[in-house]
Structure 1
Amino acid sequence: MPSTTTIYRNAVVFTGDASIAPRESFAVRDGRILAAGALSAVRLAAGAGDAGSGDAGSGPIAEVDLGGALVTPAVWEGHAHMLMLGEALSKVQLRDAGTVAEVQERIAAARAANPDAPRITGVSWRFDIFEEGQRPTAAMLDAAVPDVPVFLDANDLHTMWVNSAALKAMGITRDTPDPVGGEIERDEHGDATGFLLETAAMQYGWGYLDEVSSDEDRDRWLAAAFDAYIETGVAGASEMSFGHPDLAAYRRILDREGRLPFPVNAHWILTASGDLETDLAEVAEVARIRDEVAAEYGDEWLRIVGVKFILDGVIDACTAAMRAPYANGAMPGPIWEREFALPVAVAADAAGLQLALHAIGDEASTIALDAVQECIRVNGPRPDRRARVEHLESVADDTIARMAALGVTASMQPVHCDPAVLDNWQAVLGDERARTGFPWHKFREAGVPLALGTDAPTAPHEAPDNLFIALTAKSALEQRREAYQPERVFTPAQALEALTLGTAYATKREQEVGRIASGYRANAVVWTANALTDAPEQLLGTAAALTLVDGEAAHRRA
């Protein structure tokens, strides 16, 4: 039986390329874009007459009037943590808690509402809730919930605040060693205070929670993440913290459904061990798993494309590697020292694994580019290398110039510089660096490829709010706030391209997604507000009107 063709008309169709004027319609057949352009031309390509009726043999043709709405390629989330996002949606939400007392009230309320819960988990507390000189302690949480473990991830997802019961559950004592690149904060007696930084949070906190979580939990979290993203116009994601539990959860979907709700590119997260042979063995194992997964499932839905290096921490906790000290004099080193980062990066690159390099501080991004340059020196130039640096919150001008010369993508997250979350960020830097962060405009001027994402759940996952910040440099959380460095902002077309074609390029899928053009997968979003013409404020709090995945409606607003 001939396939049905659907023509979407009376729309503003942004094709994904900022240099191309919007079209008025597009047609979909068999999960692919058939044509995009003037309605008469699209009808002709679909085999319809001027009135939209199908010619003999062309198959059924349906037309959908979109009422002048903006249509773009579906957003490809440039930096995602799918399982973490799904799990975070079920945790106690703390991003808008303004004081320690508010945090205490919320976890106490969660305990009262779930008296049989074996533990309380929360997410997204902010450093500016503490008074000057104050640090998170177990005693603060014990005052609210003393009887079951409490695990609270910070807004940056690099630090964890826990109570005494959680320290006991994790088995942390005076003798527990700090892992490479992390710290268990301790008091003058050597006892853990309840604050875990960087790899200590990941190894002890996340490691414990992973042990007590079930496959059913992970399946529920992953499904929730897919649903949450699709509702906001996302139909593809670059997963940036992939590991064995994630792979098992994805396998279960693929075995059951034969597909994912939308395509995902995964970067396997590497753990700095301090032993080069161990690190190199991990790279070899990732390459083996990549090939095994591709052989079993193909690459239409899940691709293990690369590895993720967390080169440093975060500015809020003063753990990001900077060229100059923080306001308090701290000068932390990187999590991956050059002597390990460079040879491991070269091995990954030689295995055809894409490098994703978390670098928030200006020293860390220097190391990131040293790693890329070493890959080029040892393995030779390669047009499909597509190395990418993640976050780039405080970055030097010479690094931006090097990125342009080396063809490295800047993967950045507008929601990370929402003015409502920058008070502590600016305070701990304390100098000119506090006023020159997130320099999107400098990357654009230098010709550095840009890919925008959210890094959810370190920040809100909603694509319209992320777009609003890219367009205004204002806050989506507290709209009374002044814009942060508004000279950085994108034009609407620039931002939409960086959310769609830009992220598709960064993830090496630009030949199949990121455009509304003939032959591309019909992954598209109909926006509730038109970012090209409406006031940016109209985007706030909206969801997608329609999200298409391979031509099918994955989400439709009621």
Structure 2
Amino acid sequence: MSTTIYVNAVVFTAEPDGRTEESFAVTDGVVSAVGSVDDVRATAPGATEVDLGGRFISPGVIDSHTHLASFGTALGKAQLRDCRTLDDIRERLLRWKEANPEAPRVLGGGWLFDAVGDTHPTAAMLDEVLPDIPVYLDANDLHSTWLNSAALQEAGVDRDTPDPVGGEIARDSSGEATGLLYETAGRKYAWDFLDSISTLEDRIRSLRRAFTAYLASGVTGVTDMALTEPEIEALRTLVARDGRLPFPVTGHILMIAESDARANLNQVDRATALRDELERSGESEWFRISGVKFIMDGVIDAKTATMCCPYADGSNTDPIWDADRMKPVAAAADAAGLQIAMHAIGDRTSEIAIEVLEYCSAENGSGIRSRRHRIEHLESVTDGTIRRMADLGAVASMQPVHSDPAIMDNWKAVLGDERQERGFPWHKFRESGVPITLGTDAPTAPHEALPNLYIALTGGSSLSPGLPPYHPERAFTPAEALTALTAGGAYAGYMENVGRIRPGFRANFIELDVNPLDTDPRELLGAEVIATHVHGECAYSAATDHADKN
């Protein structure tokens, strides 16, 4: 056995009491002791020692809601999140095309609805500058896809193309597609087409980019929240080639809402079979299927999230998965031991999610609190839903980066009433004792852990720090937020031996150049991850990274 003792540090353990220690030991990739320097030294006399120079040490961040492959792909696209006008978007796309002259199509992501103006995006807006090459642009929230005319033609979207369950093709008065695909229409007609022309090696390159970016951000584990069969194939291929992944991944298989009830149940059977196959093969040490993901509604920005009361313009929308369609499918998943994760952004949708969990409990007689079923996002939610979540032990999986004031203007405008000031009620979840985990939902938002932590601590903007914060009284304390980012992600993801610096847990930890427990939160925006360790080994070093870039 080989033991290394780390001394001269502020060690945040992520234990329930929020305590810090000054030293810890790692033996063969596992934490073997935590405490004072003298106590830790006593456990391994003569062990190698590393002086950390007073650095802050935390368990590695677990991004509990991400989309690995699409995040890695997005890193190579035109980045549009900071574009404030249509002209900004078009200029950014032209620059990307100039930088990628051999690309057969222009790919972009991150555009915001309010950057386009009062009207929704159209193909004609893109055709003005890029008429001859297909253009596919994912919205910031990934719930709408904007195509130019060449892309509509390439993907086969025209006046005769039907709207899928839970989706819509924007059309003009004559029925012609105008360029915007909402919700499942974007996945079915744009994403699935692009997937069909991508290769296994394309997907593997995307995954490697995502892993590299995450390690540099201090992430040592993720839960992938919408796995498809091609993405599963790519992850398994990486495990086969390398014998491991850069860090452990748990995943939820995306459930596609079909009109045929048997087809929906078949998806549960497939998820169960894949989970069992990974367990038998031993791949689950690095890649494990833990559950299924239901995208129950859309997003507030596009007015596709289902609300208890209409939007400011009087519109509303039906859920993608209504209670009648979802209950038997969710009950089958629960009975199979699969964790249920439900995308629910609108306040009515989260009520339906609770109804579904209550149905599963009654139908299966299961210990529902122990199942750790999850509701994702919860941007607009009633007090009654929060109380019922506490009763059920349901996990609140939320993303502070989605409340960055820099992207909130349209969110507020479409609600138009007091609801625009009642969003993201983190404090109510804490007060009710609901288990909490914090992620990023990359690539719908920046993936970096420290800016995400900054927003959790302040309600402020990491994109435009000068903006007023959104209800800072709802923010987390540093210990609360760090715990939700680490131990909270482990709990929500059924990662039983990571997320804390505790004897017997995997030595997944990070070194920071600031102490979030006592520094001004603004320091986090310029802070750096000095090193990221996975299973006791250094997986990322800022010093090496800087040397490689120089």
Q: Same fold (TM over 0.5)?
A: yes
Which one is further off, 328-337 or 16-25?
Answer: 16-25
1:8 counterpart residue number: 6
- The alpha-carbon deviation at position 157 of structure 1 amounts to 0.4
The answer to whether the 8 A contact 2:18-2:479 is kept is no
1:542 counterpart residue number: 527
The answer to whether the 8 A contact 2:170-2:179 is kept is yes
The answer to whether the 8 A contact 1:76-1:235 is kept is yes
- The alpha-carbon deviation at position 18 of structure 1 amounts to 4.5
- The alpha-carbon deviation at position 340 of structure 1 amounts to 0.8
Give, as a single letter, the amino acid of the residue that structure 2 aligns with 1:248: E
1:199 counterpart residue number: 184
2:139 counterpart residue number: 154
Give, as a single letter, the amino acid of the residue that structure 1 aligns with 2:457: L
Q: 2:449 aligns with which of 448, 463, 470?
A: 463
1:272 counterpart residue number: 257
2:219 counterpart residue number: 234
> Partner of 1:555: helix, strand, or coil?
strand
Q: Distance in 1 between matches of 2:100 and 2:61?
A: 37
1:177 counterpart residue number: 162
- The alpha-carbon deviation at position 363 of structure 1 amounts to 0.7
The answer to whether the 8 A contact 2:12-2:21 is kept is yes
- The alpha-carbon deviation at position 80 of structure 1 amounts to 0.9
Q: Distance in 2 between matches of 1:542 and 1:535?
A: 11
1:443 counterpart residue number: 429
State how 1:123-142 maps to structure 2 within 5 Å. Answer: 123-132=109-118, 134-142=119-127
Q: Distance in 1 between matches of 2:83 and 2:526?
A: 19
Q: 1:119 aligns with which of 102, 105, 108?
A: 105
Q: Distance in 2 between matches of 1:225 and 1:365?
A: 30
- The alpha-carbon deviation at position 4 of structure 1 amounts to 2.5
> Partner of 2:264: helix, strand, or coil?
helix
Q: Distance in 1 between matches of 2:318 and 2:93?
A: 34
The answer to whether the 8 A contact 1:13-1:25 is kept is yes
- The alpha-carbon deviation at position 339 of structure 1 amounts to 1.0
> Partner of 2:314: helix, strand, or coil?
coil
- The alpha-carbon deviation at position 23 of structure 1 amounts to 0.2
Which one is further off, 460-469 or 275-284?
Answer: 275-284
Q: Distance in 2 between matches of 1:419 and 1:140?
A: 27
CA deviation map 1:152-200 (0-9, x unaligned): 0000001011100000000111100000000000001100000000000
Q: Distance in 2 between matches of 1:6 and 1:438?
A: 42
Q: 1:63 aligns with which of 46, 49, 71?
A: 49
Q: Distance in 1 between matches of 2:182 and 2:232?
A: 26
> Partner of 1:245: helix, strand, or coil?
helix
The answer to whether the 8 A contact 1:18-1:493 is kept is no
TM-score by length of structure 2 reads 0.97
- The alpha-carbon deviation at position 381 of structure 1 amounts to 2.9
- The alpha-carbon deviation at position 557 of structure 1 amounts to 1.2
* C-alpha RMSD of the superposition: 0.9
Q: Distance in 2 between matches of 1:345 and 1:539?
A: 40
Q: Distance in 2 between matches of 1:265 and 1:70?
A: 27
The answer to whether the 8 A contact 2:236-2:287 is kept is no
> Partner of 1:512: helix, strand, or coil?
coil
Query: Any unmatched runs of 5+ in structure 2?
Result: 544-550
Q: Distance in 1 between matches of 2:4 and 2:130?
A: 56
- The alpha-carbon deviation at position 503 of structure 1 amounts to 1.0
Per the alignment, do residues 66 and 107 of structure 1 end up closer, same or farther by CA in structure 2, a change over 3 Å counting? same
1:496 counterpart residue number: 482
Q: Distance in 1 between matches of 2:526 and 2:180?
A: 33
2:362 counterpart residue number: 377
1:515 counterpart residue number: 500
State how 1:19-418 maps to structure 2 within 5 Å. Answer: 19-46=17-44, 48=45, 54=46, 61-132=47-118, 134-382=119-367, 383-418=369-404
Give, as a single letter, the amino acid of the residue that structure 1 aligns with 2:478: P
> Partner of 2:288: helix, strand, or coil?
strand
> Partner of 1:84: helix, strand, or coil?
helix
Which one is further off, 296-305 or 316-325?
Answer: 296-305
Give, as a single letter, the amino acid of the residue that structure 2 aligns with 1:204: Y
2:546 counterpart residue number: none
Give, as a single letter, the amino acid of the residue that structure 1 aligns with 2:65: H
Query: Any unmatched runs of 5+ in structure 1?
Result: 49-53, 55-60
CA deviation map 1:198-218 (0-9, x unaligned): 000011110111011111111
> Partner of 1:11: helix, strand, or coil?
strand
Give, as a single letter, the amino acid of the residue that structure 1 aligns with 2:113: F
The answer to whether the 8 A contact 1:528-1:539 is kept is no
Q: Distance in 2 between matches of 1:221 and 1:113?
A: 19
Query: Size of the alignment, in residue pairs?
Result: 542
> Partner of 1:69: helix, strand, or coil?
strand
Identical positions, percent: 54
Q: Distance in 2 between matches of 1:379 and 1:172?
A: 42
CA deviation map 1:277-319 (0-9, x unaligned): 1100111111111111211134211110100000000000000
Give, as a single letter, the amino acid of the residue that structure 2 aligns with 1:537: R
The answer to whether the 8 A contact 1:240-1:268 is kept is yes
The answer to whether the 8 A contact 2:143-2:182 is kept is yes
Which one is further off, 34-43 or 292-301?
Answer: 292-301
